[in-house]
Amino acid sequence: MPFDFSFTPDQEAFRAAVRSFLEREVAPIVAEMDETEEFPASTVKRMQTEGYFGVPVPEAYGGLGLGKVGYCILLEELGRVDASHGTIVGAHTSLGTTPLLYYGTEEQKQNWLVPAARGEKLLAFSLTEPGSGSDSGAVHTVAERDHDAWTLTGTKIYVSNGREADAVIVMAGNDVKLGPNGGVTAFVVDKGTPGFTVGRCEKKMGLHGTSTAELLLDHVAVGPKNVLGEVGKGFHVAMTALDVGRVSLGAASLGGMEAACSAAADFAKNRTQFGLPISEFEAIQFKLADMAMHIEALRYLVYHAAAHQDRMGEDPATWGRLERQSKTRESAIVKCLASEWASEAVDEALQIHGGLGYIRGTPIERAYRDARISEIFEGTNEIQRLVIARDVLTRGL
């Protein structure tokens, strides 16, 4: 069978619509948002109205039904304009709607997925704790069970959208002794549930439009309708969502690299030193060439992985073990390469801008601060390398 890497006319039309929307509505507010460090509520509302918070969710559940490829198109375009908006959409969609779509009951889909995809509710995903980051299966938040009733107690940190979300996917330990396989359960918890409060919000190097919040659970009473997937299988729920997240994060990094490369090329053509535009110097040209090579390679990687996830469908029960493993390896490869190439691209693009690149408020200075987190969140790149190496050692290439 021939390989076909082209987008359909509908996908191209979606990209064009998103690009023009973002240029018109989002680009003009980004510099001020970065300075004030405020959540961009009005542009988020506009994006929700456009359906951009439910792109991969099937139309039957209130989404646009454009699959992971459509979703990556959105994230790539967001990456070109603003990483904060990309993170808000990503935390909500990859990490919030995926667990509901893949593991939710029909009742849970109607209660949480449909309003989330329609943009009526914002979601967040909460795995990380003060004592459990990379070792994410070592959850300390306790889920105590009394027949059908559950009580959740613990502290979660670094939750993107944590301050604004209407509901949060929370990982809690139903039996600490069992560890990640059998000891962690996923819950969907509404804000406003007694005992569930937002704690401190972090000040950050970048992503100034996003909240990164502490969530406090003090004997939060929930019931069977809040249990997402099987009891004890929450770690699988989290990892499946992260597989989606890592590919979309790759798409956002791709967009960021495209913007950095274009800005650097434009600047180089217009900045004259030694009587010539600096674009005439090979030292500058080689930086642009390296960026272009990475961009080209990443385009294939991102959309290959997204199309693979689309082919696998949305019912984890139908996935074979090998298929699951190759999806996880692919997602880790995309995330790791994309985030490192993006950091390199913004660094070199900043260098091409010279002193101007270091001046607060220039787009490349913001992009430099925004890009760094992608090597850390959704699993650090050290953890991605462990995932990839373990798979190579067990399955081979």
Catalytic residue ranges:
378
Measure the CA–CA gap between 276 and 280, rounded to whole angstroms.
7
Please check whether residue 174 is in contact with residue 120, taking contact to mean a CB–CB distance below 8 angstroms: no
Measure the CA–CA gap between 271 and 275, rounded to whole angstroms.
10
Classify the phi-psi angles of 74: left when phi > 0, otherwise alpha if psi is within -120 to 50, otherwise beta: alpha
- Tell me if 153 contacts ligand FAD by CB under 6 A: no
- Tell me if 189 contacts ligand FAD by CB under 6 A: no
- What are the CA-CA distances from residue 305 to residues 89, 327, 332, 342 (Å)? 19, 7, 10, 18
Nearer to ligand FAD, 220 or 295 (CB): 220
- Tell me if 159 contacts ligand FAD by CB under 6 A: yes
Among the residue ranges 41-49, 155-163, 253-261, 275-283, the one whose residues contact ligand FAD (CB under 6 A)? 155-163
Nearer to ligand FAD, 279 or 374 (CB): 374
Nearest distance in Å: CB 107, ligand FAD: 25
- Tell me if 172 contacts ligand FAD by CB under 6 A: no
Per-residue binding letters, 204-233, with ligand FAD (x by CB under 6 A): x--x----x---------------------
Measure the CA–CA gap between 165 and 300, rounded to whole angstroms.
33
Nearest distance in Å: CB 30, ligand FAD: 17
| Residue 8 CB neighbours (<10 A) | 10
Nearer to ligand FAD, 103 or 158 (CB): 158
- Tell me if 380 contacts ligand FAD by CB under 6 A: yes
Q: Which residue has the tokens 């680009």?
A: 27
Measure the CA–CA gap between 22 and 178, rounded to whole angstroms.
46
- Tell me if 125 contacts ligand FAD by CB under 6 A: yes
Provide the CA 55 distance to its chain's centre, in angstroms. 13
Among the residue ranges 11-19, 120-128, 252-260, 331-339, the one whose residues contact ligand FAD (CB under 6 A)? 120-128
- Tell me if 254 contacts ligand FAD by CB under 6 A: no
- Tell me if 94 contacts ligand FAD by CB under 6 A: no
Nearest distance in Å: CB 99, ligand FAD: 12
Please check whether residue 43 is in contact with residue 82, taking contact to mean a CB–CB distance below 8 angstroms: no
For the record, the structure tokens of 228 come out as 């997402």
Which one, of 286, 240, 296, lies nearest residue 264 by Cα?
Answer: 286
**Binding footprint of ligand FAD on the chain (CB under 6 A):** 91, 125-128, 133-134, 158-160, 204, 207, 212, 373, 376-380, 382-383, 386
